[in-house]
Chain A
Amino acid sequence: MFDSPERLILGLLIGILFGVLLQKGRVAKFSVIVGQFILKDWTVVKIMGTAVVVGSVGVYALVAFGLADLHIKPFLLGGVLLGGICFGVGMAVYGYCPGTGVAACGEGKLDAMVGVLGMFAGASAFVAAYPALQPVINGLGDLGKVTFPSVTGTSPWLWIAGLVSGGIIALLLLSRRGKSTSPIFNPPPNPVSPSAPRPERGART
């Protein structure tokens, strides 16, 4: 029922850091999340892209030295496809994802709090309907816990090199579009200001 106290404290510490990062990244805000999906504000893609690039280098290095294990989720076609559609539609209307919705509660937003109650209801519906949902989740096939390196029989470092170069190219293209301020050290407080040039489309890393 409970993890050890050490693990509970470790979880709390990781969560606190994650919460600070999400809040400082402005993604606990409806305008930034929905701004991404109406293609006006690329903050979500920038944060996720950078996190994936930086995370992949370190995590695969830890795995290479035997200091960490991968935790790959199985590719259950029905669950992933239907789940992705429900998730995307819900996220666009709610205006937060699960993590940023929880963070927005910390910021004091009432709609985020009600949405967290809704998330609890959605999770309850899932658990209650779990037996009936199995044909939907597993119905289209299970490709197993596959990664791009494992499917193609290539080294993960090839893919990570691709991610890193893709990230650097995206960063160069973005900075060339030329805001006078450095994107790294002097973030514009309001990236959707009317005078600013439109954010780059297709900047996904």
Chain B
Amino acid sequence: MKNPLTMKSWSPYVVGIGIGVLSWFAFGVANNPLGISTAFEHTAALAEKAVVPQAEQTNEYFAQKAEAGKSPKIGLGWMLVAGVVVGASLSSWLSGDRSTETIPAIWRERFGVSVPLRLAAAFFAGALMMFGARLADGCTSGHGISGSLQLAVSSWVFTAVFFIAATVTALALFGRKETNYV
């Protein structure tokens, strides 16, 4: 059998089982469900404190999070995000699935080859997405996977709402074409 790490892709079911089992370890060993977006909030909060030292007094964020025992820190969740970069780099190097593509094919067909347009859209859409994740206190991992597997009502509602919003947006922007994009 071929070395799995040099394969470009695995079955989505194998990947799903892998993430499910990884969740067992995240809960059982690390006592910290898989999640990405909290680390971004903590980094932003630490940066705000570094740039505006009086923010710790003026912004009630810091007092409230300290009271809840959730003060921003460089913690396990932060290293998890760093690990995702390392893991995805390793995986793509081993399989030769590196991509320097800046404008995805679906995007190019709809919005053309302008690099600044794609990068500006990625910046603002990334900002809106993360802002939404923090409003809801979770993203695809924290709510969509970790929360849903705990049968949390908040997580199932968030996942349904974001799937509907994303589907409506994507269909409005890109349509449902028959073209082969990949």
Q: Which residues of B contact A59 (CB under 8 A)?
A: 23-24, 27-28, 149-150
Closest to B51 in A: A124
> Which bracket fits the contact residues of A?
35 or more
> B118 to A52, Cβ gap below 8 A?
no
Contacting residues, chain B, for A24 (C-beta < 8 A): 4, 7-10, 15, 91, 95
Query: Do B73 and A18 have beta carbons less than 8 Å apart?
Result: no
| A1-B73 contact, Cβ under 8 Å, with A12-B83, A88-B162 | yes
> Is A145 in contact with chain B by the CB < 8 A criterion?
yes
Q: Which residues of B contact A51 (CB under 8 A)?
A: 15-17, 19-20, 23, 145, 149
Task: Tell me whether A16 and B86 are in contact (CB under 8 A).
Answer: yes
Interface size class of B (residues with CB under 8 A): 35 or more
Interface of A is mostly: helix
Nearest neighbor of B52 in chain A, beta-carbon distance: A128
- Rounded to whole angstroms, the CA-CA distance of A2 and B77 in the bound complex is 11
How close is A189's CB to chain B, nearest CB, in angstroms? 6
Task: Chain A residues near B67: list those with CB within 8 A.
Answer: none
User: Assuming the A-B contacts A55-B145, A80-B158, A108-B92, are A15 and B123 also in contact, with contact meaning beta carbons closer than 8 angstroms in the complex?
Assistant: no
> Inside 8 A of B132's CB, which chain A residues have their CB?
82-90
Decide: A103 near B12, CB < 8 A? Known: A116-B126, A118-B127, A120-B43.
Answer: no
A3-B135 contact given A52-B20, A92-B173, CB 8 Å threshold: no
Q: From A40, A46, A111, give the contact of B16 (CB < 8 A).
A: A46
Q: Could you say which of B91, B135, B170 contacts A79, with CB atoms under 8 Å apart?
A: B135
User: Using Cβ atoms and an 8 Å threshold, which residues of chain B touch A97?
Assistant: 129, 139-141, 144
The interface bits of chain B over 89-107 (1 if a CB of A lies within 8 angstroms of the residue's CB, else 0) are 1111001011111111111
Contacts of A189 in B (CB 8 A): 8-9
The CB with the most chain B CB atoms within 10 A, among A11, A28, A29, A110, is that of A11
- State in angstroms the CA–CA spacing of A21 and B64 once bound together: 35
CB pair A76 B154 closer than 8 Å: yes
Out of B130, B150, B152, B176, which one reaches A40, CB within 8 Å?
A: B176
CB atoms of A106 and B176 under 8 A apart = no
Hey, what's the 0/1 contact readout for A117-135 against B, CB within 8 Å counting as 1?
1111111111110110100
Contact yes or no, A83 B122, CB < 8 A: no
Docked pose: A189 CA to B164 CA in angstroms: 27
Q: A3-B74, A31-B106, A98-B36 are in contact. List 10 more A-B contacts (CB 8 A).
A: A15-B80, A28-B88, A30-B106, A47-B19, A54-B19, A67-B28, A98-B37, A106-B85, A114-B122, A118-B125
Residues of chain A having any CB pair with chain B under 8 Å: 1-3, 7-26, 28-31, 34-35, 37-40, 43, 46-59, 62-63, 67-76, 79-95, 97-112, 114-128, 130-131, 133, 136-137, 143, 145-149, 151, 156, 159-160, 171, 183-187, 189-190, 192-194
Can you list 18 pairs linking A and B with CB atoms under 8 Å apart? A14-B83, A18-B141, A21-B18, A71-B32, A73-B137, A82-B132, A84-B165, A88-B132, A89-B166, A104-B88, A118-B130, A119-B126, A126-B130, A137-B135, A147-B151, A160-B151, A193-B180, A194-B179
